């Protein structure tokens, strides 16, 4: 640690070794051209996708919003954001309506589980090949086809519901076909963002796209409840069909000449393995994927927990359940605004964000009244979105364009697989030990992930904590430096 009587000059030295002084804002460890690290050693990873000259170390809120506004002035990206703003919440709305519909028809929770398995199973089994397809073909063409298929499936099921002809096997078949379509759609959708936004707006575009995606997962179930109550399940499917049609039209209206397409991947054997090998060679991507697996396995599945709190702990009914979900969604909106202020992103920032998420969930589990629990949920929603947006941004901005589809398919595979396991884990804990214990369990994944990945990064990069008693405002007192840098600081003392 830095001595308590350290001088301002020694603090400046500490600031230099922890934040670097390279002209291009790169990492201390010397990233290779394709986003890797030399020798596999991590001191820190700073994302600077535009590879521009040095900028001020912080962004004001106004500067962050100006960056988003500049990205939205790009016509193709603006059309893409509109399409995602429609399809993300509407697809979640349909998913909830679909589960409720199959439960109403069969009265079997097991059939609900089978529907979810058919919808998510193809991504878990064939996800890596979906990434290969995304790298091999034009992503805009892929998305036009997949959005059209989603719209056709939703319209078909919706018509069957509205005409009274719906049968359980119709829903199961549509879920399976939608699952196989998702295998290609998800990696292509993620990898398409840099092509529509361009390199100069990449960070803001990825951040906004991640925010839209996460908000869709939070707002969609609330829309489903309102749609089912007001117009029924059939119209929930039809609304998603209309969103898919609009999305396909917006994709068609994009100007191909204004895209920034990545080189297409030629056919060759072993391309899924190439994607996995690429991730293993690039620690900033590898550890991001590992960490998101830990976080997703327990940390972001709050629906079951909130249902338990509403029905058993606080006894506030369906209206209270909706209010609790709204608190999480409101926190996510705050997280979206906070994410616009990020200039760069570090692996250690992700580790810290995961730890903060777990700590906030533990804190929320101690709240004994709805009025204390609700603001705690706002903080949890904010931390959750900040972490998920940051994780997606770091992976997207660290990957070579030729590998983006395969890398993002692996990232989504881990995220979806962990979330699939999360439902069973959290559900069993909530059923046997109650909702507060389930919320404590939610915190285990983020905290354990932060511990495991943090220790791994510290060992690989020979990092140690140092205390700067003369830290500048907003920097904090504890910083992470290499042992060599710490020795230099001590010598200066």
260-299 per-position pLDDT tens digit: 887 777 777 777 788 888 898 898 899 999 999 999 988 8
d(CA 153, CA 424): 28
The pLDDT tens digits of the residues spanning 70-109 come to: 778 888 899 999 999 899 889 888 887 888 888 888 887 6
Rounded average pLDDT over 156-166: 92
Note the pLDDT of residue 163: 92
How high does pLDDT run on average in the chain? Answer: 78
Q: What are phi and psi of 425, to 5 degrees?
A: -65, -55
First to last CA, the chain: 11
Rounded average pLDDT over 432-458: 91
Q: For residue 22, is pLDDT > 70?
A: no
**pTM reported for the whole predicted model:** 0.71
Question: pLDDT band at residue 482, thresholds of 50, 70 and 90?
Answer: low
Cβ neighbours around 472 below 10 Å, total: 12
Q: Which of 15-19, 315-319, 405-409, 412-416 has the lowest mean pLDDT?
A: 15-19
Instruction: Kindly state the tokens that stand for 282.
Output: 């690039």
Query: Is the separation of the CB atoms in 49 and 202 below 8 Å?
Result: yes
SS3 480: strand
481, with CB counted inside 10 A (0-12, 13-18, 19+), is: buried
The pLDDT tens digits of the residues spanning 369-412 come to: 999 999 999 999 999 988 988 898 888 888 888 888 888 888 98
Percent of the chain with pLDDT over 70: 77
Note the pLDDT of residue 453: 92
d(CA 75, CA 80): 9
Question: pLDDT band at residue 301, thresholds of 50, 70 and 90?
Answer: confident
């Amino acid at each position: 640690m830095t001595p308590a009587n350290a001088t301002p000059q020694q603090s400046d030295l500490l600031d230099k070794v922890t934040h670097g002084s390279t002209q291009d804002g790169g990492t201390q460890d010397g990233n290779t051209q394709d986003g890797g690290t030399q020798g596999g050693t991590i001191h820190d990873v700073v994302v600077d996708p535009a590879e521009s000259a040095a900028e001020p170390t912080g962004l004001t809120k106004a500067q962050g919003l100006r960056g988003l506004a500049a990205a939205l002035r790009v016509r193709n990206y603006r059309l893409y954001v509109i399409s995602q703003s429609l399809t993300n919440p509407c697809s979640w709305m349909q998913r909830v309506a679909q589960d409720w519909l199959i439960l109403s028809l069969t009265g079997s929770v097991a059939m609900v589980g089978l529907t979810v398995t058919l919808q998510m199973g193809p991504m878990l089994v064939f996800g890596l090949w979906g990434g290969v397809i995304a790298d091999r073909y034009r992503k805009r063409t892929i998305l036009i086809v997949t959005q059209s298929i989603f719209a056709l499936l939703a319209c078909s099921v919706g018509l069957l519901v509205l005409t009274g002809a719906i049968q359980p096997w119709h829903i199961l078949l549509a879920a399976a076909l939608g699952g196989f379509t998702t295998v290609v759609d998800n990696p292509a959708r993620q990898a398409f963002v840099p092509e529509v936004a361009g390199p100069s707006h990449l960070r803001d575009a990825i951040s906004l796209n991640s925010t839209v995606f996460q908000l869709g997962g939070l707002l969609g179930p609330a829309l489903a409840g309102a749609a089912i109550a007001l117009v029924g399940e059939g119209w929930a499917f039809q609304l998603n069909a209309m969103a898919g049609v609009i999305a396909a039209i917006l994709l068609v209206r994009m100007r191909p000449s204004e895209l920034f397409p990545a080189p297409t991947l030629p056919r060759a054997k072993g391309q899924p393995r190439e994607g996995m090998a690429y991730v293993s060679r690039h620690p900033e991507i590898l550890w991001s994927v590992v960490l998101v697996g830990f976080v997703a396995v327990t940390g972001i599945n709050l629906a079951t927990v909130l249902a338990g709190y509403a029905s058993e702990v606080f006894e506030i009914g369906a209206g209270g359940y909706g209010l609790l979900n709204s608190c999480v969604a409101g926190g996510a909106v705050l997280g979206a605004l906070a994410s616009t202020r990020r200039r760069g992103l570090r692996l250690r920032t992700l580790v810290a964000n995961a730890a903060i998420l777990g700590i906030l969930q533990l804190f929320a589990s101690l709240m004994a009244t709805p009025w204390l629990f609700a603001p705690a949920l706002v903080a949890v929603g904010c931390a959750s979105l900040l972490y998920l947006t940051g994780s997606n941004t770091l992976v997207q901005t660290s990957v070579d364009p030729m590998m983006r589809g395969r890398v993002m398919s692996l990232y989504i595979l881990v995220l979806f697989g962990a979330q699939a396991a999360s439902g069973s884990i959290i559900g069993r804990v909530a059923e046997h030990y109650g909702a507060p214990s389930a919320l404590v369990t939610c915190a285990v994944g983020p905290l354990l992930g932060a511990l495991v990945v943090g220790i791994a990064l510290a060992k690989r990069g020979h990092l140690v904590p140092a205390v700067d008693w003369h830290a500048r405002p907003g920097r904090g007192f504890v910083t992470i430096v290499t042992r060599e840098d710490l020795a230099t600081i001590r010598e200066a003392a």
